[in-house]
Structures are given as structure tokens and as C-alpha cells.
């Protein structure tokens, strides 16, 4: 089985390349030099020309704050290019797997979000990701949209790496405590996409939107505390818990990003990973890397 993957340097793309060989999945990964996501037609052409058995889009415009002032680019990368890929995949009957986000919700309430809950993004990033979901669904081909949240790994930019860097420089840090979600290791997302890809290849694939995130739910401040407790920093910084209002950003963040992951468990047999266990693995890799 072979997968055409859009993205080479993102957190999930790197983990896909790492994990795919373990199950015999061959990856043809396209970087910006071969498929510019600001050119939807070029992305569609790559799908039309591929000899792969399925397509995975692991690329996105993830600069949440920058999207507020650069919505046109976010729209191309997060919505129009995935839509073009999905239509080209549908025309050939190729399953199309895509990563979306908790930002399609407004973050209200306290219960975990279901796939069927009303969507109401707060900013440009969430709005463009939602448009991408709608274009993919409208394409009509076999597809899975995997909504996830709070992605971290030993690669790229993420909260874990930021906390470790700042924690080594400062005695105390102020971290938001009124936003809650489920931190999700990129390698768990990659393993989930691979499992779904195998299901489609074996004729067991079910199309639709699925939630997948780590457990248990926590705040950013809780996550920071766990990062420092897990790390080998010689002096652990103290974490001061602050409200979101004390840390204003161009884009508003959802207060509640907790997602109900029952559907993916029931249909694909994929359970929620414990982010605390994965955090140990990620920090161990970071501390081994010069």
C-alpha cells in the first residue's frame, strides 16, 4: 500500500514518515517544492498523477494569530487546496484523509464536543479549517476528517518545546488556566491515520468526521506543570495560573477544546491515548537530542 502525503516538515508529517514503514505503508511525501498549497490546481494535479492508493493531507496553515491578518493565504492552504485534493481524489475513488481542529468550535460550555455539535469558529484559522472540512465532504469521495487538538512532538514549534525553552531561562512562568483541552502527541495522530488508511485498503473504511485527542482533559497550566515535572531541568520554574484575558492575542482561543472521541473508538477501535505517557516519550527524545 502506498500513500501520497502532502507535507514533509510538519509534526504529523514527520511522524507519518517514521511510523509508516512499521506496517509496510510506503510514503510519497510532497514538500512545497513539489506541491505548493497556495496553488490548489497544482495540488489537484499531483493527486491526479499519483500511483498511490490513498491521499493524506498532513499540511496546514497553523499560525493562528497570523491568519487574522493573512486570511487569504490561510484560505488557500486550509480550505481551497484540500478541497481541490479531495475532488481529485474523489474522481479517482482514492480515500482522502485530512487533519482538522478543535478551532471549528466556539469553545463554549464544559462538556466534550461531539462531531455533530454546531460549529462556530472564533477566528480566521478556525473558519478556514471549517471551510476545508466542508469542501472535502462536498467532494463526495471516501474520506476521513480527523479533528484533533493541542498537538505536540519533539519536532517543530509546539507548547512542550516552548515551555522547556522558557523553563530553562526563567524561574517562573505565567500560563493560561481557563482553556481546557486534550494534548495530543503527533505520533499518535500519525498512527491513527495509518490505521484508518489500512482500514480503507482492506475495505473497512468509514467516511466522516472523527474526533481524536489525548486524555485526560487539562488546562494549559496543568500541561505546563506536567512538562516541568517530567523534564530533567535542574531547577523547575513555578507556574502562575492566569486567565486568558491576562494574555491577549490577535486571535481568540476556544475556552473548551475537550473533544468526545467515542465515535472513532466505536467505528475504528481507536482509543484515546494518555498524553502523560506520551509526554514522557517526547521529552525523553528532546533531552537525548543535542
Which residues participate in catalysis according to the annotation?
125
- E-state strands within 58-207: 96-101, 143-148, 151-152, 172-176, 180-181, 184-185
Give CA–CA dist 275/228, Å, rounded.
Answer: 14
Q: Which helix (H) or strand (E) holds 286?
A: helix 275-288
φ, ψ (nearest 5 deg) of residue 255: -75, -35
Q: How many alpha carbons fall within 13 Å on the CB side of residue 85?
A: 33
* Distance, first Cα to last Cα, the chain: 35
Under 8 Å between Cβ of 220 and 26: no
Helical spans, DSSP H, in 3-98 = 11-19, 40-49, 71-75, 81-92
Amino acid at each position: 500500500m502506498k500513500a501520497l502525503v502532502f507535507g514533509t516538515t510538519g509534526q504529523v508529517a514527520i511522524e507519518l514518515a517514521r511510523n509508516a514503514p512499521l506496517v509496510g505503508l510506503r510514503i510519497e511525501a510532497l514538500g512545497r517544492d513539489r506541491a505548493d498549497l497556495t496553488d490548489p490546481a497544482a495540488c489537484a494535479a499531483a493527486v491526479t498523477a499519483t500511483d498511490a492508493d490513498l491521499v493524506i493531507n498532513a499540511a496546514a496553515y497553523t499560525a493562528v494569530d497570523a491568519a487574522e491578518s493573512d486570511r487569504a493565504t490561510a484560505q488557500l492552504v486550509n480550505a481551497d487546496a484540500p478541497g481541490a485534493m479531495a475532488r481529485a481524489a474523489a474522481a479517482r475513488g482514492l480515500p482522502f484523509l485530512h487533519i482538522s481542529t478543535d478551532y471549528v468550535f466556539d469553545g463554549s460550555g464544559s462538556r466534550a464536543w461531539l462531531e455533530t455539535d454546531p460549529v462556530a469558529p472564533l477566528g480566521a484559522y478556525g473558519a478556514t479549517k471549517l471551510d476545508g472540512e466542508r469542501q472535502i465532504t462536498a467532494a463526495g469521495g471516501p474520506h476521513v476528517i480527523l479533528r484533533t487538538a493541542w498537538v505536540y512532538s519533539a519536532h517543530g514549534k509546539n507548547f512542550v518545546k516552548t515551555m522547556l525553552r522558557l523553563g530553562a531561562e526563567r524561574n517562573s512562568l505565567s500560563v493560561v488556566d481557563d482553556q481546557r483541552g486534550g494534548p495530543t502527541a503527533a505520533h499518535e495522530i500519525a498512527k491513527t491515520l495509518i490505521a484508518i488508511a489500512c482500514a480503507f485498503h482492506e475495505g473497512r473504511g468509514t467516511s466522516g468526521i472523527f474526533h481524536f485527542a489525548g486524555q485526560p482533559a487539562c488546562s494549559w497550566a496543568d500541561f505546563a506543570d506536567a512538562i516541568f515535572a517530567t523534564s530533567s531541568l535542574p531547577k523547575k520554574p513555578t507556574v502562575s495560573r492566569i486567565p486568558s484575558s491576562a494574555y491577549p492575542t490577535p486571535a481568540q482561543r476556544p475556552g473548551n477544546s475537550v473533544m468526545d472521541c467515542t465515535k472513532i473508538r466505536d467505528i475504528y477501535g481507536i482509543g484515546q491515548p494518555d498524553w502523560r505517557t506520551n509526554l514522557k516519550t517526547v521529552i525523553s527524545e528532546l533531552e537525548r537530542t543535542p
